[in-house]
């Protein structure tokens, strides 16, 4: 039984909205739960600091929540907009938009919970450093949100662009691939950025004198940890904005979908790994600030090596888009 275009658009919008909010709820819930667990642990050790610890837990959880609020916004837009499309490409665009923010919110949600938890523990241990810990937590958590913002941008472009002129056959796969590249690519960098910020909050509480070096190196580490998500965003932009020639064959479309999956999945490991590498560097700079230079050098070399497989994934994705 054939269905008309408008029916398929509704199907894609509702399915996309469900995917966006379903996947998008995973990360924030885990991150906030972790923060609450750490806050309880800190309160058990130091019940006197209940005011600062409780406040810091709530602020940290609010930031972790933002990733899933992005997913909620996209889900609402998909559920309640009237899409008047003239092409079947929009079906793939709406599904891709839901996948992008759904996967993209996982990493940032989990990641933002780590610095908030470490800040709560630190305030229990070192109440005098509460102000500095809050600042550091806010900076660290804010940087953790950037991968989910990349995914949000991709979702908005996929929802609001006009795809009526592009050829249906390869373009449907390109738009789904763009959703996967941007969404899956944000998972590793989101969690990795959180691991770095957690190490820095822990380090400041342990050794307050090292605060300047620790915050600087945390920002450096987090910035490099974002690169896999940026590669994912780059590949998804190429997939959205490149001009394709119409075809009847299935292989060109599969190449584009595969490019998106390759970059998206391939960015998870390096993002996470760079975060772990950088967290080791930041943690030990806090304990041994005299050797900041030596530690930063080894940390950067280690992160560069961890980045390599993300670069391989990008190369294969670009070959799939431009060569085969």
Binding site for other proteins (CB under 8 A): 188, 192, 228, 248-251, 253-255, 257-281, 283-285, 287-288, 290-291, 294-295, 297-299, 301-303, 305-310, 312-313, 315-317, 319-320, 323-324
Judged on CB neighbours under 10 Å (0-12, 13-18, 19+), 257 is buried
Give the Cβ contact number of residue 6 at 10 Å: 12
Positive or negative torsion for Cα 62, 67, 70, 76: negative
C-beta closer to other proteins: residue 124 or 289? 289
| CB closer to other proteins out of 124 and 270 | 270
Using the minimum distance from each CB to other proteins, give the nearer residue, 4 or 248. 248
For the CB of residue 244, give the shortest distance to other proteins in the complex, in Å: 15
Q: How far is the CB of 224 from other proteins (least distance, A)?
A: 11
Closest CB to other proteins among residues 124, 232:
232
Surface-to-core class of residue 101, CB atoms within 10 Å of its CB (0-12 exposed, 13-18 middle, 19+ buried): buried
For the bound state, the minimum distance from the C-beta of residue 319 to other proteins, rounded and expressed in Å, comes to 6
Q: How far is the CB of 316 from other proteins (least distance, A)?
A: 4
* Cα torsion 247, 251, 256, 257: sign: positive
Question: Which distant-in-sequence residues (6+ apart) come within 8 Å of 59 by Cβ?
Answer: 116, 134, 137, 138
CB of 9 to other proteins, least distance (A): 22
Q: Which is nearer to other proteins, 123 or 218 (CB)?
A: 218
Nearer to other proteins, 30 or 73 (CB): 30
How many helices (H) and strands (E) would you count in the chain?
10, 0
CB of 32 to other proteins, least distance (A): 24
Contact between 108 and 29 under an 8 Å Cβ cutoff? The reply is no
Residue 193: alpha-carbon gap to chain centroid = 9
């Amino acid at each position: 039984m054939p269905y008309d275009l408008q029916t398929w658009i509704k199907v894609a919008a509702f399915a996309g909205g469900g995917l966006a909010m379903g996947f998008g709820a995973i990360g924030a819930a885990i991150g906030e739960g972790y923060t609450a667990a750490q806050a309880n642990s800190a309160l058990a050790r130091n019940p006197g600091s209940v005011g600062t610890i409780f406040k810091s837990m709530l602020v940290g959880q609010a930031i972790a929540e933002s990733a899933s609020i992005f997913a909620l916004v996209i889900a609402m837009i998909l559920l309640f907009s009237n899409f008047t499309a003239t092409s079947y490409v929009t079906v793939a665009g709406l599904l891709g938009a839901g996948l992008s923010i759904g996967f993209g919110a996982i990493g940032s949600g989990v990641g933002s919970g780590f610095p908030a938890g470490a800040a709560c523990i630190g305030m229990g241990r070192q109440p005098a450093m509460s102000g500095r810990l809050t600042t550091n937590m806010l900076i660290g958590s804010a940087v953790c949100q950037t991968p989910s913002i990349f995914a949000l941008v991709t979702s908005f472009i996929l929802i609001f662009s006009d795809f009526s002129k592009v050829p249906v056959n390869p373009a449907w796969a390109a738009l789904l691939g763009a959703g996967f590249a941007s969404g899956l690519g944000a998972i590793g960098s989101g969690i990795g950025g959180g691991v770095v910020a957690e190490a820095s909050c822990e380090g400041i509480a342990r050794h307050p004198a090292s605060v300047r070096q620790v915050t600087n190196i945390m920002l450096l580490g987090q910035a490099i940890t974002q690169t896999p998500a940026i590669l994912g965003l780059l590949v998804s932009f190429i997939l959205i904005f490149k001009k394709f020639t119409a075809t009847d064959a299935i292989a060109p479309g599969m190449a584009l979908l595969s490019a998106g999956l390759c970059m998206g999945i391939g960015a998870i490991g390096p993002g996470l790994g760079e975060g772990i590498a950088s967290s080791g560097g930041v943690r030990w700079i806090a304990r041994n600030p005299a050797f900041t230079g030596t530690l930063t050098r080894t940390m950067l070399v280690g992160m560069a090596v961890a980045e390599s497989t993300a670069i391989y994934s990008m190369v294969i994705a670009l070959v799939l888009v431009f060569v085969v």
